[in-house]
Structure 1
Amino acid sequence: MGNSQDKEQKKEESSPPPPPLHRDDADEEDETVKQLGDCSSVYLSLQECLVNTDRNWKACQKEVQALKACSEKRKEQNQGK
């Protein structure tokens, strides 16, 4: 009986570590942020505010409104092209 346990322990020790959790999500988010162009810094400010306020959207309304304004400005610029 002890042999099968020893083999399992060795198998676990030799297996490669799992990839970091949510790595794909982070990569995907980076791509999304890049697509925001000029608004990416505003978006990141909003994210930082949400982290600092425990996701309190009311406390981050300044950042929300700034992102909304930036997004609308971008949309207008793209329609003009």
Structure 2
Amino acid sequence: MNQPPPNQNGEKPFAEVAPQPLHQTDADEDDENVKQLDECSALYLLMQDCVVRSNRNWKQCQKEIQALKECSEKRNKNKGT
């Protein structure tokens, strides 16, 4: 199997460079934000899954959206007491 020679400056050809995960820091930040939702995090993930499954058709995900909204309101109310 022939390998392409290094570039003139000695770097490996593009095809041999290990790919970096796209937007990894964004994904890490999303994970942290979801964790901060505490008891509502599972509902948020269900809503997110629905949106993906429905090809971003929010109308099909109203049940999940409403459940997340109610959980969030309850959580905020409990924080105030």
Q: Secondary structure at the match of 1:20?
A: coil
Q: Which residue in 1 is equivalent to 2:46?
A: 45
**Overall identity of the aligned pairs, in %:** 52
Runs of 4+ in 1 over 3 A off after TM superposition: 13-16
Deviations 1:27-81 (A, max 9, x none): 000000000000000000000000100011000000010000000000000000x
C-alpha distance in 2 between matches for 1:19 and 1:76: 42
Q: What is the aligned partner in structure 2 of residue 12 from structure 1? A: 12
Tell me which protein shows more helix as a share of its residues: 1
Letter in 2 for 1:37: D
Q: How many residues align?
A: 76
1:65 is matched by which residue type in structure 2?
Answer: Q
Mapping of 1:27-46 within 5 angstroms? Answer: 27-46=28-47
CA RMSD, 1 decimal: 2.3
Question: Is contact 2:6-2:13 (8 Å) kept?
Answer: no
Q: TM-score, normalising length from structure 1?
A: 0.82
Instruction: State the TM-score, normalizing by the size of structure 2.
Output: 0.82
Q: The residue matched to 2:56 in structure 1 has which SS?
A: coil
